[in-house]
Structure 1
């Protein structure tokens, strides 16, 4: 409503042109320049005042070009003050007036700044569309700083989408187009963004070197110092990171630099959480969330929700931890959705650009295809029978594996739900809530991996730990467990059938450890012999013979079914190697007494991830 009134007022004033006063026009230009100076010194409130004075004069003398400059300045000042929605509206209004007076340079700069604001908001779809339009204005403009900055902004968007190779290509193009090592703003922004790209890939040394280049032209640059703090946090150098965040937080509060306040508060919240100073962590993150929410900064909201979930989980408040985790997922999904749409838009643009090229090449491709068609047909005939037999055999194995997983997953989830139901009926509500929180994490992991034939051993053990922690919580720590590896074995480089270990551990707990007097122990160890992973699952339970006496018919049937599924899955995974997939043995102590059960699994290592 407010903006509509302004537009009507502006239209009315400009529809009745008056003779401009040169002195007033000069005053307006002076105020715009003063606003720019304040903005460069990061004094957005003073800049806002100067730009408003310029806008008042522009309206009075009916100078639309001056009005566009003033509105553009106001939009930037509002953006610097962290008010993203207002900034978008104001810069869009300035863009309209730049276009009306035919100011191409003003249009391009306004588009670039608008893309920056959308990027800060996490609105990647709009950011991508706007910066693409800006590049059209500046394309081919060597040494043009707006062209350079537009390339950098496009690279940053690809970085946010996770396409690091394309992001670096844009940064290198910008670097080649701006050869001056003068520490000017394009130079500083380029190396700031390049440092971010290195940091997100874990290349801390390269990131820090880029940040140092960026700081060379502005040693007090707060945003780069904030990113330097992030690198020390990644290296777990918490004292150094704290100094960066704390000094920035104090500086930003004095200048009302909202964006830096939000970032430094998140950093301080992380460090206080790591140090187990939960009240201070909560205060910082809640403050950051409040500032992010009113300004539409979705990325910062996402990070704040994730931290709040971790803080409440650390404090034992599972209900709030789950609540904030749900909020985190909602915001995260919205950001990812926008990034995905932007990716589709990018693909469409590339397809349009390549369309004419494809049409030119299609005739040559057809001629070539005709020439090789005879040879391909001949080779296909020779190989058809051999490949068809192999393909059908492989497809049958895949379908059988999927069918087995389809039977196993409901069985696995049913057991988890039964555990939750038992816990809720027999324990207090807060512990039930904690159990439910852990189950939700487990079930999300199960759903992520459900469509995979194989997963890494690291991923498999992550799910297994979640399950074992749930059972420990339910049965009040009646057993403890450990997972051990022989030296040189790397779980992230070994692939196993998904959900293969949990049924064996479940059998050990339910049929061995729960009937034992005293503390139960579950030991899981891994070793590698040639290309075969050996997993040994040991328990100090009552043994197979006594366990059989406790089982009811239904339970025994379910356990047998689970073992048969596991055996078939391992056999399919291992292929025709001749070795038994797993064996079960009793553990006998020095006195010849049964002291537990041992299951030995043999899993042939496969380097190809499904």
Structure 2
């Protein structure tokens, strides 16, 4: 009886918290979220627990929306979608339209980050409908511009134009000055981007930018001006009006204190392009050099590539063939290889198939299982044929890549050499996985696990092909590839080991770029050799840390230790040699030294294993 009374008192005390106090608590957790995501998640879970006990749908939907937002920032996208879907249901019950709009918009953002454009668009449309019902013009304009972003990625030019026009028509009803400024800037930038291919959109880009300039000056929004001037300069360069373009670039530098590095870099390139149109080679070189200095400071490979492409186009137009050739070679060295794009398309279709099956409850997989039960030999033949086809596709891709490398000039840059070293790693990586599938497939008569394995393998192979064609990849992409590889190996070894992959909280994996597939060979050695013979309780720990301005990778296992591993000199020494060459090339180019060590950590009968530690440059993409 006392327990019941205590429970009732607890619920009443929770319900007596005013809405203002509750809202203040929600905002406090949002402020924690900007500093420490784990703490914010813990606190919102605690708050949510009390809210659910009280049965208050209104407060529950706010907590769920905040939790979904937190999970999104933690890149736990699948969990975020589940929680946000619950928030949408609760908001509908409570009639909380503002929070409902936020939850729907957040779901659109998650699907957009997953490059799943159709559901992203669907949720942005639903968001706009809720904002429309509330006469919330600020939210409605934001929704329209989110849809513009999706249509832009899909290259649906007519839809981009349609929704920009819808957003612009509502601008006068928007009270949020920053939202108005961002709308003018984003809309003008979209039109100028389209204008590179369809020049008739450049006038619209110019018109919206000029409106934005007037608005920013009227409301003293100086930080918005550089973006408008960049678009205007871009339009004039594309329309070959170099003197006007130079004037707009000068306006960017006059507002340098409020201009982003991106704006200053692009302004420098537009000035260089303008001088090239005026046939002033020295002026062009001066501003290209200025852009290059700023790009080196932000360490952006993307802008380096854009810079070299701009140089190539400018010098070619000026008739300076030698300078254009150098710029073109530099551009090609930085540009992602596109020779396997058609292959990627085939593998991407396979991956999309399995992802769609997963989201739809694996309906197609169940149908395949029925077909397999009807004809055992047919299904095995299909799977084997599938593997053979994928294998031939892989071999042909790498053969084409190898032939392409042989056709290059003898004196290659360090970037080309590093790509060749990566190509030596990929065949072992992929064919080892194929071998795992083969062994797994013929382990028994039940081929359903083999189908699941195939789905993971198809995704893994596409990721490996994609990553190995690049000189640098985001740390987020690298981590996803390693997680998928470890999941496949877990299945292969019947869950004989667990793994943990952690990243220093001070590191944003989306911003940091690394050479691809550096950790994989050491993880493979840990599983194949370090944990060999262990049927359970195996452990692989991968940590990515920030120390002294460098990125530190640590791969540790609790196996027998490297001092007790049976030597396999050809394989292991070659893997280490390749890795050291890659590390040496990176160090030479960046004028830095990076350490690398492999140590046996056993010091008694209970503690044993191997620890691999190596350094990489801390580079932002």
- Using structure 1 for the length normalisation, give the TM-score: 0.38
- Using structure 2 for the length normalisation, give the TM-score: 0.38
Give the number of the structure whose alpha-carbon radius of gyration is greater.
1
- Larger RCO: 1 or 2 (CA < 8 Å, sep 6+): 1
